[in-house]
Structure 1
Amino acid sequence: MLGTFSEGIQEHGITESVSNNEIISLVPNPFVFQCKNCRVIVGDSFQWVTNNEKLNLITLQALTEIVEVSAILMISKSLEDPGSAFYVLSCKSCKTVLGRKYITTLCKLDSLRGLYSLDASSIESYQLGTSLQDGERPSLENLPTLSSLHLQQLKMEQVILSFNERITDLEEDLAMLEDLAF
């Protein structure tokens, strides 16, 4: 279980004041997501928005042009997203179903609406900067889990929220100074 946002942040020792060096250490090498069947690149971690462990989905803001969005609107009968309307995402290269683009969802799944949700079992990932020596085979042990990727996302969210608070405070201070000047 991932726990709440604040529990995840506290568990990893992130406080309100985060230095630039800490930010750099939180940003790992990016990942490339590939169709599991034909290995064509369908997206990357720069477009990452969220993930959903119950549905086994990784949700991105955008995908490559190799991913096709069906024209037929489907209605889910699954217990995890009942009544949700979505378009099927598939690989143009091999026609493998890769995921869903939700149009309507339950309130608890609002974070998926309008975005591209890839089924984690239909894709593979490769982390840039982890090249293999000649003759070596990739190890599945080094692939990140949805939980670890979610925790990295929580860390980055906290960093962004911290920066937002700082900027808001600076803008308020600036507005007060401008008011005093006039």
Structure 2
Amino acid sequence: MAARERTTKRQSKPVNLTFETSSTNSSAVEEKLFRQAEEVDEEDGPVVFICGKCKLPVGDSMSWDGSEDGSNQIRLKRVTDNVLVGKNSCMYEAGKRSYCLVVDLTCKGCDSVLGMVYESTPKKLDYKRFGFYFNVADIDSYVLGSASQMLAAEGPEEQPVTLEYRGIVEQQLTEMKMLVVSMAQRLEEIEVSI
């Protein structure tokens, strides 16, 4: 009976599965993780939209609402204070027999017309009444974090200045000074002979 109790106690002991091996291929997991990291690196940073003429900021990608490829326009939900919304409406033909009332968006800095706001539209274009439409040809953009120019000292090929390197540079400078002095003397001789 004592042997039976021991086997029962062994069977009821909790099993720890913490370090049990898995059938998941670790290389597949690593590939997936690294691919996701690369995709994040390839994404563009936030974009600042600026007036094409005076370069004042007019909006950014945080207020992006889409684009109108057929009419070369981008749509933003919000704009900066550098954009003035016009007061006078004018008729605009958005398509065949699709007339709209629009007001101009102008740059506060240079008075350039940058786009429009739809005030009144036919029913099929009602979605256009809630955005700021900028003409792609009239604005520029800058991607934050896209700067690539660095000072030479910060570059990847940075080399410490050694005595040997300094000696070489001083020798080259001496040779260049001699060349310049020689050329100046020749120029002086030519001027005297003329």
TM-score band (shorter)?
0.5 to 0.7
* Shift in CA distance, 88/130, structure 1 to aligned 2, threshold 3 Å: same
Deviations 1:16-69 (A, max 9, x none): xxxx98x96796411000000001100000000111011111000010001000
TM-score by length of 2: 0.53
* Shift in CA distance, 80/131, structure 1 to aligned 2, threshold 3 Å: farther
Residue 105 in structure 1 maps to residue 113 in structure 2: no
Aligned to 2:54: 38
Output the amino acid matched with 1:61. K
TM-score by length of 1: 0.56
* Shift in CA distance, 61/78, structure 1 to aligned 2, threshold 3 Å: closer
CA distance in 1, matches of 2:92, 2:110: 24
Q: Is the 8 A contact 1:58 1:119 kept in 2?
A: yes
Aligned to 2:63: 47
More relative contact order, 1 or 2 (CA 8 Å, 6+ apart)? 1
CA distance in 2, matches of 1:78, 1:57: 12
- 1:63-142 residue pairs with structure 2 within 5 A? 63-77=79-93, 79=95, 82-133=98-149
Task: Tell me the matched-pair count.
Answer: 116
Output the amino acid matched with 1:125. S
Unaligned runs of 5+ in 2: 1-35, 152-194
SS in 1 for 2:70: coil
Aligned to 2:76: 60
Cα RMSD over matched residues?
2.8
CA distance in 2, matches of 1:30, 1:134: 21
Output the amino acid matched with 2:83. V
CA distance in 1, matches of 2:97, 2:144: 33
Identity of aligned residues (%): 30
Aligned to 2:191: none
Deviations 1:62-115 (A, max 9, x none): 100010001001110354683111110000100100000111224443332121
Aligned to 2:45: 29
* Shift in CA distance, 67/29, structure 1 to aligned 2, threshold 3 Å: same
The structure in which a higher percent of residues are helix is: 2
Output the amino acid matched with 1:59. R
Larger Cα-atom Rg = 2
Unaligned runs of 5+ in 1: 1-19, 136-182
